[in-house]
Structure 1
């Protein structure tokens, strides 16, 4: 289906940002239950940078970000000229931003907070929004892991002032590369549209349609445009989303069942068990290892044909942030514990029941062996 959609765009002879991108923006908004069209960009990082600009974040402003996230969350703050301030995770059961630590790190310079819905699980939006409202902070939701996931009545990404999505090849909805900015505020969307395309007040397709080459530039923007080839892939992926999510949900439920044994509990902890499988996009399936041999365990699993990874090394411990933003060990102790012991297992729509059983058995056997050895 994706190949045919791309073929149609190529045959249309208009491949840059145009009518297919507009259709993707409209249908994505409808999927979230929004009346305002989204703003498509070429990456999740571009979406974050665009949202920060559209919300008026400037040089010297402080922006709170979780330490447990992909580095793009923090990097986008620097791209906007602002200063990232790292916030600890709630616990090893819930890796999302701690509202209590967030509250402690608000200063007179704090202007915004970027909330990451880690792994496809909603962050504690009620408390975060309460603190943000009290301190008059802008709230940006990083929903790279949870497209079309709802928190009570609202889709994640529509609760704060802006929501940012990623369509990288690994995401639940992919266009190979791409991103989206959503907002309930018309002025935010208008600024985002200008910022993504050099602040031109007329797109190339609009110029083509009007047969006029005239346009104006009112500020400095970036080339963050999506194109119709990527948007065509995204439209097909939207149609497949519900089916794919059902498969992810079943896979996650099976993992939980297989890791619930006493033998498993001695070596592995599964976080987010207080969330029902219905309340997650299941972008990731993280576990916590109860020993200090993660690298060896990952290698042994790899030798068995099982690919694992880590989501994520704590951002505040990266050399760049320690050197330039005075971040240090001990700033986010829970995040540091997660960073030492978290392991992400395979989860995707094409994973079979037998493959999930094999992964679980190998993890318990290998991690259990290291745990027993560690206790001796």
Structure 2
């Protein structure tokens, strides 16, 4: 057996990758599993998106290698989307880079800017990929605490008391995953000033802005943001296109050019038809968002009832496609979800997947039908 690279000893297989194998095995043995653990949209993309990819297949360019920078009309659609939805002005030629999903952007950004031994500020709780990618490139995760008392926002004053001399990059994600917390305007001004004072590249991962959120915000709208900030975004949640793998990174041209150096050595461009579909998605009218959120509102009402039936508490003002719920005192998250899976055939994500500050919490996904959620309620009552 050839020994694996040392870097593999710093990470584990992604939790949901492992857990879904267990769920699939239970299903194979006849267990009627209801999956409320994964944020994989079960709704259809816009019809015009499906038509666009179908129509594209007969184009002479459809099956060739594509540009590493994406189609010019896709970059233009992204800039129009950002201008209309976030009031952010971007150059389609120098400040936008389409990605094969924003998850690859986490790796590309890390490879472009981090050297071995550099430190990275990572939210706890937060998206686990920030940590695993940091370790894979030989950098050092430095976790900053988020908690309910602090409205799931970092305490920048306390953070600045630390030695930040080795910190090169900081990950943010607002609206926050997994809690659904929204950052106020003042926070963006404060965190940009913090990043500038400490010479830190700030990256806001922003895929949840349009799900049950009345005030979509981009960090790039705030004064001075382009000097020290990048933003990742995705079509996965907003347009039910998770499997299409369409994301984007936006920011200053110098930063984008650095990321291109990595990306151009790792893929050969996004499939033409997917890009054409993405263009149509970005052109959707306001009615798309209203319709989408009407579905999630109904589901969320039911998930709140499910959470209450499990003696959990939660914040009704939180946004996004999840419900972050606090368990009764002294109940351990992973033990709780394992018992629920065994006894009720319901899978919910334990908060500990997202960091140690997730202990005592669970996360429900809204990516399940009304019928499935009602059945889950019936099983636990």
Q: How would you bin the TM-score normalised by the shorter chain? A: 0.5 to 0.7
Distance 2:169 2:239 in 1: 26
Aligned to 2:86: none
Instruction: Select the structure with the greater relative contact order (CA < 8 A; seq sep ≥ 6).
Output: 2
Aligned to 2:54: 7
Where do residues 218-229 of structure 1 align in structure 2 (5 Å cutoff)? 222-223=266-267, 225-229=269-273
Distance 1:82 1:106 in 2: 16
Could you tell me how far 1:253 is from its partner in structure 2? Answer: 4.3
Aligned to 1:176: 244
Q: Report the RMSD for the aligned CA atoms in angstroms.
A: 3.9
Please state whether the residue corresponding to 1:114 is helix, strand or coil.
strand
Aligned to 1:188: 255
The aligned length equals 307
Distance 1:75 1:241 in 2: 37
Could you tell me how far 1:287 is from its partner in structure 2? Answer: 2.3
CA deviations over 1:230-255 (Å, ceiling 9, x no partner)? 22332333345844532453355446
1:122 and 2:122 are equivalent in the alignment: no
Closer, same or farther in 2 for the Cα pair 1:227/1:172, shift >3 Å?
same
Between stretches 189-198 and 61-70, larger displacement belongs to: 189-198
CA deviations over 1:175-196 (Å, ceiling 9, x no partner)? 622321111x122223333332
Between stretches 9-18 and 249-258, larger displacement belongs to: 249-258
Distance 1:151 1:138 in 2: 28
Could you tell me how far 1:97 is from its partner in structure 2? Answer: 4.5
Please state whether the residue corresponding to 1:107 is helix, strand or coil.
coil
Aligned to 1:237: 281
Closer, same or farther in 2 for the Cα pair 1:247/1:230, shift >3 Å?
same
Could you tell me how far 1:165 is from its partner in structure 2? Answer: 2.4
Could you tell me how far 1:313 is from its partner in structure 2? Answer: 0.7
Could you tell me how far 1:174 is from its partner in structure 2? Answer: 3.8
Contact kept, 8 Å, 1:31 with 1:148, in 2: the verdict is no
Aligned to 1:313: 353
Distance 2:155 2:149 in 1: 11
Please state whether the residue corresponding to 1:32 is helix, strand or coil.
helix
Aligned to 2:323: 285
Contact kept, 8 Å, 1:314 with 1:339, in 2: the verdict is no
Where do residues 1-376 of structure 1 align in structure 2 (5 Å cutoff)? 1-14=48-61, 15=63, 16-18=65-67, 21-33=71-83, 34-37=89-92, 38-53=96-111, 56-91=113-148, 94-95=151-152, 97-99=154-156, 102-117=159-174, 118-119=176-177, 121-123=181-183, 124-146=187-209, 154-156=217-219, 159=222, 160=225, 161-168=229-236, 172-174=240-242, 176-183=244-251, 185-198=252-265, 222-223=266-267, 225-240=269-284, 242-251=286-295, 253-254=297-298, 264=308, 267-271=311-315, 273-275=316-318, 280=319, 282-290=320-328, 291-292=331-332, 293-302=336-345, 308-310=348-350, 313-315=353-355, 335=357, 338-347=358-367, 351-352=369-370, 358=374, 361-362=377-378, 366=380
Distance 1:224 1:111 in 2: 29
Contact kept, 8 Å, 2:116 with 2:139, in 1: the verdict is yes
Closer, same or farther in 2 for the Cα pair 1:246/1:158, shift >3 Å?
same
CA deviations over 1:125-152 (Å, ceiling 9, x no partner)? 3443332233232211112333699997
Distance 1:313 1:91 in 2: 17
Contact kept, 8 Å, 2:99 with 2:249, in 1: the verdict is yes
Contact kept, 8 Å, 2:119 with 2:142, in 1: the verdict is yes
Could you tell me how far 1:163 is from its partner in structure 2? Answer: 0.7
Please state whether the residue corresponding to 1:59 is helix, strand or coil.
coil
Closer, same or farther in 2 for the Cα pair 1:27/1:148, shift >3 Å?
farther
Aligned to 1:205: none
Could you tell me how far 1:47 is from its partner in structure 2? Answer: 1.1
Could you tell me how far 1:13 is from its partner in structure 2? Answer: 3.0
Contact kept, 8 Å, 1:173 with 1:238, in 2: the verdict is no
TM-score (norm 1): 0.66
Could you tell me how far 1:297 is from its partner in structure 2? Answer: 2.5
Distance 1:300 1:72 in 2: 30
Gaps of 5+ in 2: 1-47, 84-88
Contact kept, 8 Å, 1:63 with 1:84, in 2: the verdict is yes
Distance 1:100 1:74 in 2: 23
Distance 2:190 2:338 in 1: 36
Could you tell me how far 1:156 is from its partner in structure 2? Answer: 4.5
Distance 1:147 1:22 in 2: 25
TM-score (norm 2): 0.65
